[in-house]
Structure formats: structure tokens, C-alpha cells
Amino acid sequence: MRTTLDPADVQALTDRIEAAQKGATAIPKLTEDFPGMTLGDGYAVQLGLLERWLKEGRRQIGWKAGLTSQAKMIQMGVDVPTVGFLLADMARPEGSVIATDDLVHPRVECEVAFVLKSALGGRDCSRADVLAATDFVVPAIEVIDSRFSGFKFDLPSVVADNSSSARYVTGGRALEPEALALDTLGVVLEKNGEPVAMGASAAVMGHPADGVALLVRVLAELGRELPAGSFVMSGGITEAIAVKPGDFVCARFQDLGSVAVRFG
């Protein structure tokens, strides 16, 4: 991917993103100071943040695909999907209370998550490759959190902010992919007992495994792959729904069961 920032600028922007995430503080989008910033620059900042946190002892568990549905692209005002890394300490137990005082703009979306039994890599990764490498899938809720003020975005800034990754929760039942019609799973997202969004898994690029395949192809451009055992979130099925303290959220998946969490 084409980059324009020098190493000092990448480090400065990594500092800026890390401070915003750790301090739950909104910041202007990065392109206000670096208008020529490219998508490759955004990934340089994201990977700089990942390497910094791995050196601090945090553990990576996998990756996520972002902006893979038409609803999310429209909501975010972008037209290209993204990827972001997932750390083990971002996970929260099902049924737990997720604090919001360390988040800026928390929103939730429901996703199908894949757990791999074998490694995946390469620029030609296909849906069939993903399904063959998958051990099982589980239903999940992702909590995303954009750290940008005024809820204003552009693609390089979103990518640098680790594609708005914040928290994730899994639940329901784990099933092998061949036991499901993965492209037609119905999902209803409820907030405080009321349905607020619904959709089908085909919203993720026609099939959730296609979202994972896209992620693998992006990682190949970055010189990386998915190792065996990776936990991969395939992308939001509906638009993201804002949450606040006191909200109870439940995502109900056809065949896969439900996932629920409360915010405090």
C-alpha cells in the first residue's frame, strides 16, 4: 500500500491515537493535520499501535473486518472495507456489564465470528479457502468506539484508529460452518427489549466468509496472515447502534442462539 508519512509522523500519530483510546478523549480526524494521508498511512499507524501494545505484553487474538455491509458504509460515509486487530483484553464475558466511562462514542453491532483450525494467507484467498480453514463459528456483539470528535470520519483516520475496535462479546452456540446456511442467517438486535436493527448475514459482502477472505487479502498486502487458532470477526450485519449506561443489548441469531450484555 502506498504511504506518504515519514516514520516520525507515523510515531506522532500513533501517540495521538493511543492517547485518545487510553484517555477516552475525542480528537480531530487525523487528515486535518495530514490532508495527504493515504490508506497505507492509516495502516502504518494501526500496525505501529499493535506492535507497541504487543511489546507491553498485551496478546493479540485475531483480526476483524470492518465496514463490510452497505449499511455500515453508508453510516460511516466510506466505500472501502477495513481491517483491525483484536486483543485478548478487549473481550468481555457474555452477560457482563461493560463500562462506558472509558469509551467515547460506544456503539454495538452483531457479527458472525470465525475460529480457524488452520492458517490462512495470500492475495487469492476465497470463500472456499475460509470455510475449509474454519473450525467453528459463533455469534458475537462488537462494541465499536470512534475516538474522533463530531463523529466525523475518513478512511485513513478510521483505519489508524484500529477500525474503531474497542470490545467484543461472544455467546450462543458454536457450530461448524457446514451445519449452517451461513449466507442467510437472520439476526435481530434488541436494545432494552425493543428491536432496533435486523438483517441477514448476506449483508456482509454476500456471505460472512467473503468478509474474512477480504480481510486475509488486505493482510497479505500488509505482509501478514491469519495463524491457526485466530478469532476473526467478519463484519457488522446491520448499522451500528449507539448505547449508553443502563442499556441492555441482546443479539438474536438464527440457529446460533443469542448474545447479551449490559452497559454501565
Per-residue pLDDT tens over the stretch 228-239: 999 999 999 988
For a pLDDT cut of 70, what percent of the chain falls above it? 95
* Confidence (pLDDT) at 66: 84
**Separation of alpha carbons 159 and 151, rounded Å:** 15
* Confidence (pLDDT) at 71: 62
Q: Among 44, 107, 105, which residue's Cα sits nearest to residue 72?
A: 107
In which element (H, E) is residue 128 found? helix 127-133
**Separation of alpha carbons 72 and 181, rounded Å:** 23
Residues of the chain with pLDDT under 50: none
The mean pLDDT of the chain is 93
* Confidence (pLDDT) at 77: 61
Q: Which long-range contacts (CB under 8 A, 24 or more apart) does 198-202 make?
A: 198/238, 199/69, 199/71, 199/237, 199/238, 200/237, 201/112, 201/237
Q: What is the number of other CB atoms lying within 10 angstroms of the CB of residue 247?
A: 18
Do the Cβ atoms of 6 and 36 come closer than 8 Å? no
* Confidence (pLDDT) at 40: 95
Which tens digit of pLDDT belongs to each residue from 61-84?
Answer: 999 998 776 665 666 665 567 899
* Confidence (pLDDT) at 26: 92
